[in-house]
Structure 1
Amino acid sequence: MNNIDAGYPIGQAGQPWGRAEKEAWLARQVRQRSYEKDVLSAIDGLRTHLDVSEYGRLDYAQGSFPLFSLRSRNWRDALAVMLVTGGVHGYETSGVHGALRFAQEHAAHYAERANILIAPCVSPWAYERIQRWNPDAIDPNRSFHDNSPAGESAALLRLVAPLRGRFLMHIDLHETTDSDEAEFRPALAARDGKVFEPGEVPDGFYLVDDEHNPQPAFQQAVLAAVSKVTHIAPADAKGQIIGSPVVAPGVIEYALKALGLCASITGARYTTTTEVYPDSPRATPEQCVQAQVAAVGAAMAFALANG
């Protein structure tokens, strides 16, 4: 297709995508890794000490993807619930493997004091294609609302719905990558018929708090734990991170519910979205996974200590 705006090779400047453009985008998506090998096999290895259940299934032309959640085995209705989500954006690798690593090595430590619920890979199609969107060119992390157009989001909403009012903490594990500026933000602008305005990718780990329920002490407790593993992202020259004012070192705020973000789905007192930078010359993929694990542990410890 003719591309007037050189920022992205699909579509025409100023015109939102229609069906033809979305099909052209989908044709460019190539399977690059295996959900079954990387994620489902790891989940199978956790069945000895966690309850595993299928909470949904995504049937796409490219395949059928079962969605699994992990629960602490000694689930008790008297205890609060703490939720860990990963892979809402499938390309954000450490979110998926951080959730699985935490489930394997640390979930049991907290299971006597809270009910632990983990959805380690919310978007398996996107995980396999190292993609932000689902095959309908929809961003699941802008789709957590009633009548969601994203099957990934709708399935997770159904999972948590019976437990609303019981959640104490929800941590959603993400990454900010160089591909955000190179691919995903240009694609978003093209899809919506807008002009792409380049931004700056922050080098380091940061958190997104809820501007309508800010919990600064909680965020700082998480950052303190993570700083022992990897570096915290500084503000840019404007005092911002990804276009939002830095409200405390390593912390920005979003209107989570209004934006349809995953961290809004539980109504928990304590919520945060992690963002780690895997393309940093100062961090390895393993450090990124360890940073996610440290964030989850610190979030649970703070929530339990402060109620």
Structure 2
Amino acid sequence: MNAPAFYPIGTPGRAWGAQEVAQWRARQVRHRSYADDVLSAIEGLRERFDVVEYGRLDYAPDAYPLFAIKSRNWDPNLPVALVTGGVHGYETSGVHGALLFLDRHAGDYAGRVNLLVAPCISPWAYERIHRWNVDAIDPNRSFRENSPAQESAALLRLVAPVRAQVLAHIDLHETTDSDESEFRPALAARDGKPFEPGEIPDGFYLVGDTDNPQPEFQQAVIAAVEQVTHIAPPDAQGEIIGSPVVAHGVINYPVKQLGLCAGITDARYTTTTEVYPDSPRATPAQCNAAQAAAVCAALDFALAARAG
């Protein structure tokens, strides 16, 4: 893939200001409907789960209610499992994989764990198939106190009351060809830095926590997903997206330091999934199924370890 010579907004070597952000925002086009794709699916879950509105994004002229789905018979004596999707709105299977898990698999965990699922954290970006929010901020670098991203701040408020009870947190993401063709060039332009081309891995992988890697847990998730779709191999340098591969299909990031969603609790078991939807070897249905399989495998491992 040839790297673009420039990004059409801003001046090379100079970070964006308000004018450039406004220019970028004006270029964003709605391609799909949060109401049709996500809210309608959530409505269909109300008979089986509690649905809570945990925030609202007022991005005039648009407004987006933020919903989380909870176990109906919440038991304070049980641990909590947190599932998050759509932190990056363009990562489609994160959203629909979370909804698929709820519809097809969540009932298997009734009475064993309290589920808290936020399937679409960034609905404005979901509609525009983008990584950033309306202010050209990446929510997945913004999960920290006084967050500049409304999406991140709303999720932090939702999770705060149960933060200490979270046993497992599975954050559902994708790595796409558009990371290299659009989003990383845009990031470089926004920050006034040169764009350095990278390599998109073909397949599923996981991002663990450098400070709490839990290798057996990560491998249990990889083994389950491998029954659904292929696992990304390391590149010639033994890396995936610039990070050393520490085990089959696994790299680690310092998630709390980077302000990533996977670091918002002190859960023992955390992982970030990365599906590759642009692979000729994977269909959209497989991508959604891979996300749901990852959630199930993570919960199965965490609950077995807790019982043992």
TM-score using structure 2 length:
0.98
TM-superposed deviation, 1:54: 0.1
Q: Deviations over 1:190-215 (max 9, x none)?
A: 00000000000000000000000110
TM-superposed deviation, 1:161: 0.4
Residues 112-261 of structure 1: pairs in structure 2 closer than 5 A: 112-261=111-260
Whether the aligned pair in 2 keeps the contact of 1:58 and 1:151 (CA below 8 Å) is: yes
Is residue 276 from structure 1 mapped to residue 275 from structure 2 by the alignment? yes
Tell me, in whole angstroms, the C-alpha distance in 1 between the residues paired with 2:74 and 2:224: 27
Which residue type is aligned with residue 305 of structure 1? A
Tell me, in whole angstroms, the C-alpha distance in 1 between the residues paired with 2:79 and 2:218: 20
Q: Which runs of 5+ in 1 are unaligned?
A: none
Q: Which residue of 2 is the match for residue 65 of structure 1? A: 64
TM-superposed deviation, 1:217: 0.3
**Percent of aligned positions that are identical:** 73
Which residue type is aligned with residue 290 of structure 1? A
Structure 1 stretches of 4+ with a deviation exceeding 4 A read: none
Tell me, in whole angstroms, the C-alpha distance in 1 between the residues paired with 2:163 and 2:155: 12
TM-superposed deviation, 1:165: 1.0
Q: Which residue of 2 is the match for residue 97 of structure 1? A: 96
Q: Tell me, what secondary structure is at the counterpart of 1:16?
A: coil
TM-superposed deviation, 1:7: 2.5
Q: Tell me, what secondary structure is at the counterpart of 2:164?
A: coil
Tell me, in whole angstroms, the C-alpha distance in 2 between the residues paired with 1:267 and 1:218: 16
Tell me, in whole angstroms, the C-alpha distance in 1 between the residues paired with 2:67 and 2:123: 10
Tell me, in whole angstroms, the C-alpha distance in 1 between the residues paired with 2:110 and 2:54: 21
Whether the aligned pair in 2 keeps the contact of 1:229 and 1:287 (CA below 8 Å) is: yes
Q: Deviations over 1:255-295 (max 9, x none)?
A: 00000000000110000000000000110111000000100
Tell me, in whole angstroms, the C-alpha distance in 2 between the residues paired with 1:18 and 1:226: 42
Q: Which runs of 5+ in 2 are unaligned?
A: none
TM-superposed deviation, 1:245: 0.4
Q: Tell me, what secondary structure is at the counterpart of 1:69?
A: strand
Whether the aligned pair in 2 keeps the contact of 1:72 and 1:117 (CA below 8 Å) is: yes
Tell me, in whole angstroms, the C-alpha distance in 1 between the residues paired with 2:290 and 2:98: 11
Q: Which residue of 1 is the match for residue 39 of structure 2? A: 40
Q: Which residue of 1 is the match for residue 9 of structure 2? A: 10
Whether the aligned pair in 2 keeps the contact of 1:72 and 1:108 (CA below 8 Å) is: no
Tell me, in whole angstroms, the C-alpha distance in 2 between the residues paired with 1:214 and 1:228: 23
Which residue type is aligned with residue 26 of structure 1? R
Tell me, in whole angstroms, the C-alpha distance in 1 between the residues paired with 2:14 and 2:83: 38
Which residue type is aligned with residue 239 of structure 1? G
RMSD, aligned α-carbons: 0.7
Which residue type is aligned with residue 188 of structure 1? L
Q: Deviations over 1:142-187 (max 9, x none)?
A: 0000000000000000000011110000000000000000000000
Which residue type is aligned with residue 259 of structure 1? L
TM-superposed deviation, 1:253: 0.3
* Pairs aligned (count): 303
Tell me, in whole angstroms, the C-alpha distance in 2 between the residues paired with 1:130 and 1:139: 13
TM-score using structure 1 length:
0.98
Tell me, in whole angstroms, the C-alpha distance in 2 between the residues paired with 1:134 and 1:62: 15
Greater mean alpha carbon deviation, residues 58-67 or residues 90-99: 58-67
